[in-house]
């Protein structure tokens, strides 16, 4: 699941066949051979790209969960391993779920994952998160104790942000960390964001392309930065450590949200004098795409 779910209406009822908390059975034996092959194809493409690009906790989690298998993982087996490591479980849902349902699951260390997988002609792009994005992208990081705690705290914070009318700001934090975050390591920049590690194109673009800005992570700054859901990001935020993410977000966001009321949003490609610039992007990619009418 990802921040796209933050746009979902809050009063919808679960679809037929789903439980009150929107979960469904994965029905693992119901997947077809073609669907399993889509998983294996995507898995192999990413497994070849990610050593040296994804961060150690991600690669370690991928091994610990044995996600390669012969195809789409069976959640019953995956959950045995994951739960033993950090107390998280993955639950299947029909698709995007309403915000408060999503946050309620996270706050209880349950990660909602779409049951469906993309079609063979959609390997590189699709709008809604599927089971490859949700399991391959998100679940390895949930084996890291610090990140696991962050995700749970985020769920609690989500409920609070709804009450305070600050969900737009909190959703940006999710986007630029959980989905598109980069980590600085002694070996160089590494990916931890699920939206990047599950995308062949962005796994390379985010680290190696001269176009995007790469800026030091700053909580308030991130919350002022809009994002695009239709193409590669124009800016990535770089964490010095996962612990820093947890430490910064354990503070009370009440004062943070009050500060934000007085601060305007930034333009997506803007660099401010306060920013720590890891690399200043050319924005050539985004400019070429908008010139082409993309
Ligand atoms: N500390 C935040 C609050 O007071 C909650 C939160 C934790 C938000 C972790 C995001 C991530 O609202
Ligand atoms: Fe996601």
- Global pTM exceeds 0.85: yes
User: Separation of 196 CA from ligand 2 center, angstroms?
Assistant: 10
Q: Is 66 left (phi over 0), alpha (psi -120 to 50) or beta?
A: left
- What average pLDDT does range 240-253 have in this prediction? 97
> Which listed residue (5, 104, 105, 133) is catalytic?
133
Residue 68's pLDDT band (cuts 50, 70, 90): confident
Q: Are 278 and 238 in contact (CB under 8 A)?
A: yes
Q: Is 169 helix (H, G, I), strand (E, B) or coil?
A: helix
- Residue 179 is a catalytic residue: yes
Characterize 231-265 residue by residue with b for buried, 16 or more Cβ atoms within 10 angstroms of its Cβ, and e for exposed. Answer: ebbbbbbbbeebeebbebbeeebeebbeebeeeee
> Which listed residue (5, 104, 138, 199) is catalytic?
138
Query: Ligand 1: which of 107, 147, 156 to mutate, judged by most atoms within 8 Å of the beta carbon?
Result: 156
- What average pLDDT does range 221-231 have in this prediction? 96
Check residue 3 and give its pLDDT: 42
Helix (H), strand (E) at residue 183:
strand 182-185
Is any ligand 1 atom within 6 A of the Cβ of residue 157? yes
Is residue 111 over pLDDT 50? yes
User: Separation of 220 CA from ligand 1 center, angstroms?
Assistant: 12
- Residue 138 is a catalytic residue: yes
Structure tokens at 213: 């800005």
Is any ligand 1 atom within 6 A of the Cβ of residue 154? yes
Check residue 56 and give its pLDDT: 98
Check residue 10 and give its pLDDT: 52
Q: How far apart are CA 184 and CA 172, in angstroms?
A: 20
Ranges of H-type helices in 15-74: 33-49, 56-65
Q: Are 107 and 175 in contact (CB under 8 A)?
A: no
Question: Any bridge partners for residue 214, and if so which?
Answer: 236, 279
Check residue 9 and give its pLDDT: 47
Q: What is the mean pLDDT of the chain?
A: 94
Is residue 8 over pLDDT 70? no
Query: Ligand 1: which of 153, 169, 217, 239 to mutate, judged by most atoms within 8 Å of the beta carbon?
Result: 153
Q: Which of 38, 134, 155, 34 is nearest to 92 (CA)?
A: 134
Give the orientation angle of helix 99-107 with respect to helix 145-164, to 10 degrees: 140
Check residue 4 and give its pLDDT: 44
Is residue 140 over pLDDT 80? yes
User: Separation of 40 CA from ligand 1 center, angstroms?
Assistant: 36
- What average pLDDT does range 232-256 have in this prediction? 97
User: Separation of 95 CA from ligand 2 center, angstroms?
Assistant: 12
DSSP string of 149-167? HHHHHHHHHHHHHHHHT-H
- What average pLDDT does range 126-137 have in this prediction? 93
Is residue 167 over pLDDT 80? yes
The share of the chain scoring above pLDDT 70, in percent, equals: 96
Q: How far apart are CA 132 and CA 130, in angstroms?
A: 5
Q: Which of 192, 161, 160 is nearest to 176 (CA)?
A: 192
Q: Which residue's CA is minimally distant from atom 11 of ligand 1? A: 154
Residue 294's pLDDT band (cuts 50, 70, 90): low
Is residue 131 over pLDDT 90? yes
> Which listed residue (184, 198, 199, 206) is catalytic?
198
Q: Are 23 and 91 in contact (CB under 8 A)?
A: yes
- Residue 105 is a catalytic residue: no
Q: How far apart are CA 67 and CA 80, in angstroms?
A: 13
Is residue 114 over pLDDT 90? yes
Q: How far apart are CA 101 and CA 232, in angstroms?
A: 28
The share of the chain scoring above pLDDT 90, in percent, equals: 90
Q: Is 13 left (phi over 0), alpha (psi -120 to 50) or beta?
A: beta
Structure tokens at 69: 């298998």
Is residue 293 over pLDDT 90? no
């Amino acid at each position: 699941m990802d921040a796209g779910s933050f746009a979902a209406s809050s009063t919808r009822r679960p679809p037929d066949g789903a439980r009150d908390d929107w979960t469904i059975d994965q029905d693992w034996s119901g997947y077809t051979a073609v669907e399993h092959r889509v998983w294996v194809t995507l898995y192999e493409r990413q497994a070849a790209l990610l050593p040296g690009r994804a961060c150690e906790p991600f690669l370690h989690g991928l091994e610990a969960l044995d996600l390669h298998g012969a195809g789409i993982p069976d959640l019953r087996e995956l959950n045995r391993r994951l739960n033993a490591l950090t107390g998280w479980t993955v639950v299947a849902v029909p698709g995007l779920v309403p915000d408060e349902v999503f946050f309620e699951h996270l706050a209880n260390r349950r990660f909602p994952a779409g049951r469906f997988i993309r079609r063979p002609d959609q390997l590189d792009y699709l709008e809604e998160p599927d089971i490859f994005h949700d399991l391959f992208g998100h679940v390895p990081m949930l084996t890291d104790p610090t990140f696991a705690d962050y995700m749970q705290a985020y769920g609690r914070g989500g409920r609070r942000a709804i009450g305070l009318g600050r969900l737009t700001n909190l959703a940006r934090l999710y986007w630029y960390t959980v989905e598109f975050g980069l980590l600085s390591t002694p070996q160089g920049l590494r990916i931890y964001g699920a939206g990047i590690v599950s995308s062949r194109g962005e796994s390379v673009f985010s680290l190696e392309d001269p176009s995007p800005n790469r800026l030091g992570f700053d909580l308030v700054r991130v919350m002022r930065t809009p994002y695009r859901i239709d193409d590669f990001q124009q800016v990535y935020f770089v964490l010095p450590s996962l612990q820093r993410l947890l430490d910064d977000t354990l503070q009370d966001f009440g004062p943070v949200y009050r500060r934000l009321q007085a601060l305007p949003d930034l333009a997506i490609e803007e660099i401010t004098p306060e920013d720590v610039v890891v690399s200043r992007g050319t924005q050539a990619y985004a400019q070429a795409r908008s010139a082409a009418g993309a």
